[in-house]
Amino acid sequence: MLEYWNPLIERMPVDELEKMQEKKLKHLVNYVYQHSDFYKKRFDEAGVRPEDIQTLDDLKKLPFTYKSDLRDTYPTGMFCVPNEQLVRFHVSSGTTGKPTVVGYTKNDIDGWTTSLARAMTSIGVGRGDIIQIGYGYGLFTGGLGAHYGAEEIGATVLPTSSGNTERQIELIQDLNSSVIACTPSYFLFMNEVAEKANVSIDKDTNLRVGIFGAEPWSEEMRARIEQATGIKAYDIYGTSELSGPLFTECQYQDGIHIWADQFLIEVIDPKTGEQLKEGERGELVITTLFKEALPLIRYRIGDITVINKEPCKCGRTHPRIMRVLGRADDMLIVRGINVFPGQIESVLMTIPEVGEHFMIVVDRVNELDVMKVQIEMTDQAFSDKVNDIIDLEKKVASALKSVLNIAVKVELVESGTIPRSMGKAKRVTDNRNL
Ligand code: DLL
């Protein structure tokens, strides 16, 4: 049965939704102009005044904001409210530079929670479900974000956080968890640990839904997960700058619904900054329509996706984004050819002998880029015969070449050799920048 958290909003006719967006956008530009020196300066430099923004079409007159702006104004230079109005901070790990700090007012937390309550309801999760949250709790937004959404819909939360994998399996069994929320790579690892302990997620547990995100993953990986564990695997997307985890697919698993009353989305050509048409692949840009502490105007997240405004079979009228391929800066350029790690995953997951864990290693040898993919075989496919191994390496290399248009060296490694992840998986070792 189809359920909605707020049917009036979720099924609102598109023209009404757009009117609402227009009103909120006008309010937003005035608000940031008055409350943030950062935005005032940025608007002034671009020669835009709040009154220039009257329609949604005027959005393109506004200057972009970037992750580097958050870093340059570290920690709170872009905030529009004084610290005493904040109820929480989250801080990014800063693995690729200075960390970014996001502050939340009470209303910001409520808006975030509402977004997730709608999302979780749209995948048929609600009261009576036991949601085990295996995203990290703490400065990372995954744990607490999912937690608030799950409590809002009346589900029971089991806040395991990430790690302690044997105990996660025990609790799935002992407390009858019906939903698991964690990164897809961590769930694969959990399944591996369960199998070693002779526990079948499919037969020995009540798990029926997975809420997987925080990292790119492919349709082919979804097929593998669903087939191996008997659960329905849903994609969840969000970023810490926008709040944290925010949006999921609905039960039709056909794109991620972005709540248009809360966020305005565009897809642009990353080189020219021009808006692209619906259906064209480009860089996602989001404007927040409800946030008070850290509103973002035309924020260039850097994720590559496609917008789909077709009405969804579920009856929701809000636009969808199709599976996120990753950030533009996750893209590898190997001998001048663009390669997303997700493309490699898609190819590997169609080859039955290949297991779910892999590592892409890029080196520069004699001034030439060389890409190697290390993969583990599935236990069923494991063979001691050298010829079988060579044949499989050739098969995988040729499948990768036909999609990527570049020669890839394939190396089969022993099961368990590739590091497992309990959070975001690290799939690439690029030795060229060392
Ligand atoms: O990863 C928030 C989150 C937590 C989302 C739990 C979903 C579940 P950040 O650490 O700021 O926030 O990382 C955000 O991760 O820009 C994407 O590049 C990537 N990402 C997140 N979800 C997906 C997804 C959280 N479903 C960055 N598919 C984003 C592809 C994703 N990439």
Ligand 1 atom nearest to 256, measured from its CA: 26
Q: What is the CA(239)–ligand 1 centre distance, in A?
A: 5
Residue of 303, 306, 346, 424 to test ligand 1 pocket, by largest number of atoms within 8 Å of CB: 303
HEC secondary structure over the chain: CCCCCCHHHHCCCHHHHHHHHHHHHHHHHHHHHHHCHHHHHHHHHHCCCHHHCCCHHHHHHCCCECHHHHHHCCCCCCCCCCHHHCCEEEECCCCCCCCCEEEECHHHHHHHHHHHHHHHHHCCCCCCCEEEECCCCCCCHHHHHHHHHHHHCCCEEECCCCCCHHHHHHHHHHCCCCEEEECHHHHHHHHHHHHHCCCCHHHHCCCCEEEEECCCCCHHHHHHHHHHHCCEEEEEEEECCCCEEEEEECCCCCCEECCCCCEEEEEECCCCCCECCCCCCEEEEEEECCCCCCCCCCEEEEEEECEECCCCCCCCCCCEECCCCCEHHHCEEECCEEECHHHHHHHHCCCCCEEEEEEEEEEEECCEEEEEEEEEECCCCCCCCHHHHHHHHHHHHHHHHHHHCCCCEEEEECCCCCCCCCCCCCCEEEHHHC
Which of 132-141, 279-288, 322-331 has the lowest average pLDDT? 322-331
Q: What is the CA(120)–ligand 1 centre distance, in A?
A: 17
Q: What is the CA(385)–ligand 1 centre distance, in A?
A: 41
Q: What is the CA(23)–ligand 1 centre distance, in A?
A: 29
Residue nearest to atom 31 of ligand 1 (CA): 215
Q: What is the CA(166)–ligand 1 centre distance, in A?
A: 25
Residue nearest to atom 21 of ligand 1 (CA): 214
Residue of 148, 179, 324, 343 to test ligand 1 pocket, by largest number of atoms within 8 Å of CB: 324
The CATH number that applies at residue 256 is: 3.40.50.12780
Q: What is the CA(213)–ligand 1 centre distance, in A?
A: 6
The CATH number that applies at residue 381 is: 3.30.300.30
- According to the model, what pLDDT value does residue 237 have? 98
Residues 353 and 339 in one domain: yes
Residues 199 and 274 in one domain: yes
- According to the model, what pLDDT value does residue 95 have? 67
- pLDDT tens digits for range 316-327: 999 999 999 888
- According to the model, what pLDDT value does residue 377 have? 87
| Residue-range definition of the domain harbouring residue 144 | 1-328
- pLDDT tens digits for range 3-18: 999 999 999 999 999 9
Q: Is the pLDDT of residue 30 over 70?
A: yes
Q: What is the CA(192)–ligand 1 centre distance, in A?
A: 23
Q: Which of 328, 346, 381 is the last residue of a domain?
A: 328
Residue nearest to atom 28 of ligand 1 (CA): 216
What average pLDDT does range 406-422 have in this prediction? 94
Q: Which of 55, 58, 57 is nearest to 43 (CA)?
A: 58
What average pLDDT does range 231-243 have in this prediction? 98
Residues 283 and 395 in one domain: no
Residues 383 and 418 in one domain: yes
- pLDDT tens digits for range 36-77: 999 999 999 999 999 999 999 999 999 999 999 999 999 999
Token pair recorded at residue 38: 């950062």
Residue nearest to atom 13 of ligand 1 (CA): 239
Percent of the chain whose pLDDT exceeds 70: 99
Residue nearest to atom 22 of ligand 1 (CA): 214
Q: Which residues contact 366 (CB under 8 A, 6 or more apart)?
A: none
Q: What is the CA(214)–ligand 1 centre distance, in A?
A: 3
Ligand 1 atom nearest to 330, measured from its CA: 18
Given pLDDT bands bounded at 50, 70 and 90, which one contains residue 383? Answer: confident
Residues 282 and 428 in one domain: no
Residues 322 and 344 in one domain: no
Given pLDDT bands bounded at 50, 70 and 90, which one contains residue 382? Answer: confident
Residue 95 contacts residue 60 (beta carbons within 8 Å): no
Ligand 1 atom nearest to 213, measured from its CA: 26
Residue of 101, 183, 215 to test ligand 1 pocket, by largest number of atoms within 8 Å of CB: 215
Percent of the chain whose pLDDT exceeds 90: 93
- According to the model, what pLDDT value does residue 1 have? 64
- According to the model, what pLDDT value does residue 182 have? 98
Question: Any residues with Cβ below 6 Å from ligand 1, and which?
Answer: 92, 135, 141-142, 213-216, 235-240, 244-245, 301, 303, 324, 326-327
- According to the model, what pLDDT value does residue 368 have? 93
Residues 247 and 143 in one domain: yes
Residues 381 and 275 in one domain: no
Q: How many domains does the chain have?
A: 2
Q: What is the CA(146)–ligand 1 centre distance, in A?
A: 13
- pLDDT tens digits for range 75-111: 999 999 999 999 999 999 876 678 999 999 999 999 9
Q: What is the CA(237)–ligand 1 centre distance, in A?
A: 5
Burial of 107 (0-12, 13-18, 19+ CB in 10 A): middle
Q: Which of 269, 297, 328 is the last residue of a domain?
A: 328
- According to the model, what pLDDT value does residue 96 have? 67
Ligand 1 atom nearest to 323, measured from its CA: 28
Residues 392 and 314 in one domain: no
Q: Is the pLDDT of residue 433 over 90?
A: no
Residues 165 and 23 in one domain: yes
Q: What is the CA(400)–ligand 1 centre distance, in A?
A: 26
Q: Which of 328, 351, 378 is the last residue of a domain?
A: 328
Burial of 44 (0-12, 13-18, 19+ CB in 10 A): exposed
Q: What is the CA(162)–ligand 1 centre distance, in A?
A: 16
Residues 7 and 142 in one domain: yes
Residue nearest to atom 16 of ligand 1 (CA): 239
Residue nearest to atom 4 of ligand 1 (CA): 142
Residues 316 and 341 in one domain: no
The overall average pLDDT reported for the chain is 96
Ligand 1 atom nearest to 236, measured from its CA: 26
Strand 101-104, strand 88-91: pairing: antiparallel
